[in-house]
Structure 1
Amino acid sequence: MDFLARTDFHITTWVVGLILFFVALAMANPKVVHMILRLDYLFIIVTGMALFMKGMDYGEGMLYGMKFLAGILVIGMMEMTLVKKKKGKPYTTFLVLVFVFFFIALFLGFKLPMGINFLA
C-alpha cells in the first residue's frame, strides 16, 4: 500500500474529482458523471487514508486527523450539493461549504510535513 501513500497521486485524484464535480454541476442530467465521481471519491478516500497512516510517522497525528476529517466533509458536501441540485432544491449553502472545507483541507495538506511547500 506504499504506492498509494504518495502526495502526487492523492492530489491527482482530487483534481479529477473537482473537475468531475464541476462538470456534473454544469450538466442538466449528470447521472453517468456522478457515478464516475462516486468512484473517484473512493480513490480519494483510499489515498487519503494511506497518507494519513504514513503521516503518523511525523508526530502530527492530530493535524493529519483534522485534514482527513476536512477531506471527508468536502466529499460529503460535494455529494449533498449534487443531490440537492438533482432534486431541484437550493444548494448554494452546500456549495459554499464545499469551498470552505476544501480550503481548510488544502491549507492543512500543504502546511503539514508531507505537503508541497510552495514558498520554499
Structure 2
Amino acid sequence: MFDNTHAHITTWVIAIILFFVAVRLHNAGKAKGMKVVHMILRLFYLLIILTGALLFWKHQGINPALYGIKALVGVWVIGMFEMILVRMNKGKSTKMFWILLVISLIIVFILGFSLPLGI
C-alpha cells in the first residue's frame, strides 16, 4: 500500500483545499461552517502525519536525513495552517504566519518532488 505516495499526496491536497475553504468561510463570517471545516482539517492533519510516517519508515534507507528534514518542514506547514486559523478566529494578525506558510510550503514541495519518491 505504501510503495507509492498516492495516499499521502491525496491527504495533503485535500488538507490544502480544506484550509482555504476554512479561510473563505471565516472571511464570509460563517463561524459555524468554518469550525466544522477546521475540525475536519484537523483529522486530515493526522492522516497526513500517519501516511508520511508510514512512507518514511518504509523508505528511510533512501535518504533519511533529507526525508527527516522534509517531515519536520511538513509538520511546520501543519503548524502554520493551525496558527493562521486559530489567530483568525481570535481576530489577531496573521501576516507573519502567512509568510511562514508560503516559505514552508515552498521548502516542503521542493524537497518532496526532488527526493527519490517524488516526481
TM-score after normalising by structure 2:
0.90
- The one-letter code matched in structure 2 to 1:25 is V
Deviations 1:45-82 (A, max 9, x none): 00110111122121x11000000000000000100000
* Backbone CA RMSD of aligned residues: 1.1
| C-alpha separation in 2, matches of 1:4 and 1:46 | 11
65, 72, 75: which one aligns with 2:78: 75
Cα deviation digits, residues 6-49 of structure 1 (max 9, x gap): 31111111100000000001113110000000000000000110
Match of 1:115 in 2: 118
8 Å Cα contact 2:2-2:58 kept in structure 1: no
Amino acid at match of 2:36: V
Q: Which residue of 1 aligns with 2:42?
A: 38
Give 5+ residue unaligned stretches, structure 1: none
State the alpha-carbon separation in 1 of the partners of residues 94 and 77 from structure 2. Answer: 14
The share of aligned pairs that are identical, in percent, is 51
The residue that corresponds to 1:16 in the other structure is 14
TM-score, reference length from structure 1: 0.90
Structure 2 match to 1:85: 88
